[in-house]
Amino acid sequence: MTELHLALLAGAPRHGYDIKHEHDAWFPDSRPLAFGQVYATLARLQRDGLAQVVETRTDGGPERTVYALTEEGERRLRAWLAEPAAAAGSGADEIVRKTIAALHTGIDVRGFVSRQRASHLRRMRELQRNPPGAGAAEQLVREHVIAHLDADLRWLELATELLPSSGQQQPLRTATERNNP
Amino acid sequence: MSTVELSGVSHAYGRTQALRDVSLTVAPGEVVAVTGPSGCGKSTLLLLAAGVLRAQSGRVVLTGTDLAGADEAARARIRRRSVGIVLQFGQLVPDLPVLDNVALPLLLEGHAPREARAAAAGWLDRVGLDVPPTTLPSELSGGQAQLAAAARALVTGPLLVLADEPTASLDTATGRQLLDLLVTSTTAAGGSVVLVSHDNAVAARADREVRLRAGSVVHEVALS
């Protein structure tokens, strides 16, 4: 989730409340992000030099601390999106997170989808070349993994169909642009 | 020498551009998957590689012969000797019993009928099609016709097998067995396989994936 918070900060500096609402808008069918988690993550990002406080706003209400991505944070975000998620059942949520983050931040989403597809196909190929044990249980476990890889691959195909062409996608703003909206 | 090499190939059906400037080289022993959504040009690519369609621009070199300079008879001869084609619905000759359908490429090459039919019977057995040899294509299910088509494609020991959705009419287990047979029997003899499919399990059998969208290559990655 650390990197996803970086993606949520990539568009513009935000305070915790904004980040929570942006996250819930990106993933409307997922469990809403808890405020406590957002603030804990932001504190960690700041400690690690991935985000910095740029402003404290009151806007007539409670005081809100506005965070922005640092250059190190942007490097970390790009590195995260350059790597496909693990091609296993547990990687499924991460694939969605990365694809949506790439779409929103404008960081090479086609490249990401293409690398993820290759990574999944390689895993499927590996499994096909190593037959499971002869027992029903071993076969069922194997088929479960293959079915999930296939479902992810179909979802990635859909992503490819729905993606904006490279010219239409907004590039990620520079750190200076982002910190002076 | 590449088994087949397409360079800058384009093809249109009337005003519909099916392929735009596509290049693809398949090395001996290599298995390539051509994937993409319906209508992306996959089947056209396969028919051009087989010399069934003539490229309107660009160049196709099949087992060392530039198809641009070959007339229909020459192309048919190369196809018969070097290429095995498996199409989605089998495409068997309707009036010939299944055994003769499978023996046909050998019969056309002048092999003795007895020898050709014995080889055909062997391949029908290997693909797992257990029907009387006199069965007509109209009496076969879609899946059985696809198995017979695979046997017909493999009977000559081709240098290149071109398969268009080869497992589409088969259940998962039979599809996997057929794919195994197409790939292993061809590559073991140094032949190459091009699998056209939108099935990820088929694509995952390949050494390389070439993905088409709207007639152009959008992604090409090594899987091995």
A44 touching B (Cβ < 8 Å)? no
The H or E element spanning position B34 is strand B31-35
pLDDT reported for residue B97: 96
Instruction: Provide the pLDDT confidence category of residue B47 given band limits of 50, 70 and 90.
Output: very high
Q: From chain A, pick out residues whose CB is under 8 angstroms from the CB of B205.
A: 125, 128
The H or E element spanning position A5 is helix A2-10
Nearest residue of chain B to residue A121 (CA atoms): B204
Burial label, A58 (beta-carbon count in 10 A; 0-12, 13-18, 19+): exposed
Instruction: Give the closest of B37, B200, B213 to A121, CB-based.
Output: B200
pLDDT reported for residue A11: 87
The CATH number of the structural domain formed by A1-82 is 1.10.10.10
pLDDT tens column, B136-149: 999 999 899 999 99
DSSP letter at A117 equals: H
Q: Is B168 helix (H, G, I), strand (E, B) or coil?
A: coil
Torsion angle in degrees (nearest 10) through CA of B189, B192, B197, B201: 50
| Spatial distance between the Cα atoms of B56 and B166, rounded to a whole number of angstroms | 27
Question: For residue B103, what are the CA distances in angstroms to B106, B134, B144, B177, B189?
Answer: 6, 12, 16, 22, 20
**Residues B195-201, mean pLDDT to the nearest whole number:** 92
pLDDT reported for residue A169: 54
| Interface probe with A: pick from B172, B213, B223, B224, most Cβ of A within 10 Å | B223
Q: From chain B, pick out residues whose CB is under 8 angstroms from the CB of A149.
A: 200
Instruction: Give the closest of A125, A154, A160 to B204, CB-based.
Output: A125
pLDDT tens column, A11-43: 899 999 999 999 999 998 888 999 999 999 999
Mean pLDDT of chain B: 93
A114 touching B (Cβ < 8 Å)? yes
pLDDT tens column, B102-140: 999 999 999 999 999 999 999 999 999 999 999 999 999
A75 touching B (Cβ < 8 Å)? no
Q: Does A69 score more than 70 pLDDT?
A: yes
| Spatial distance between the Cα atoms of B140 and B131, rounded to a whole number of angstroms | 9
Task: Find out whether B9 and B58 touch, Cβ atoms under 8 Å.
Answer: yes
| Interface probe with A: pick from B31, B34, B219, most Cβ of A within 10 Å | B219
**Residues B181-206, mean pLDDT to the nearest whole number:** 94
pLDDT tens column, A83-142: 998 876 556 688 999 999 999 998 988 899 999 999 999 999 999 888 888 888 888 888
β-strand partners of B87: none
| Interface probe with B: pick from A113, A116, A125, most Cβ of B within 10 Å | A125
State which amino acid sits at residue A104: H
pLDDT reported for residue A89: 57
Nearest residue of chain A to residue B222 (CA atoms): A118
Provide the domain limits for residue B175: 4-222
| Spatial distance between the Cα atoms of A65 and B43, rounded to a whole number of angstroms | 58
| Domain parsing of chain A, residue ranges | 1-82, 86-169
Cα of A168 to nearest chain B Cα, Å: 17
pLDDT reported for residue A174: 55
CA angle (A135, A138, A140) in 5-degree steps: 105
CA angle (A52, A53, A55) in 5-degree steps: 145
pLDDT tens column, B148-169: 999 999 999 999 999 999 988 8
pLDDT tens column, B54-87: 989 999 999 999 998 889 899 998 998 899 999 8
Instruction: Give the closest of B204, B211, B219 to A128, CB-based.
Output: B204
- What's the domain count of chain B? 1
Helices (DSSP H) in chain B: which residue ranges? 42-49, 72-82, 98-108, 113-127, 142-154, 172-188, 200-203
State which amino acid sits at residue A151: A
pLDDT reported for residue B222: 93
Which residues does B123 contact at the CB level (< 8 Å), separation at least 6?
B102, B151, B152, B154, B155
CATH of the domain at B104: 3.40.50.300
Task: Find out whether B120 and B93 touch, Cβ atoms under 8 Å.
Answer: no
Q: Does A178 score more than 70 pLDDT?
A: no
> In chain B, what percentage of residues exceed pLDDT 70?
100
